[in-house]
Amino acid sequence: MVLHWIYNEFTERYVFMVKKLVKHGNSLALILDRPVLDLLHINEETSLDISTVDGKSLQITPISEAERQKQFSKALKKVNKKYKHTLQNLAK
């Protein structure tokens, strides 16, 4: 179950939401309501950064395509640096 307050700029009110996870195959899913998606400008194409600071709560942040590309490039450089010789051997 997820508990949180959301400020809706359209209604100018805070909304308290209680959500339960739903079964999705072998996983559990959190369904986000349309007003929340609209408020955060999230659609099915939006990449999300999901993290935890304290190990007790989740932080879900939409990331732009430019930010996603930057993160991917950084990870790719790290892999290439760490496995340079292995990758060169595999390319032969």
11-33 pLDDT tens trace: 666 666 778 899 999 999 999 88
Mean pLDDT along residues 34-40: 82
Query: What is the rounded CA–CA span in Å between residue 2 and residue 19?
Result: 5
Tell me what pLDDT residue 27 has. 96
User: For residues 60 and 48, is the Cβ–Cβ distance under 8 A?
Assistant: yes
Would you tell me the crossing angle of helices 84-91 and 65-82 to the nearest 10 degrees? 80
User: For residues 52 and 40, is the Cβ–Cβ distance under 8 A?
Assistant: no
Domain boundaries, the chain: 1-36
- Report residue 66 as tokens: 């430019």
The pLDDT tens digits of the residues spanning 53-63 come to: 888 888 888 88
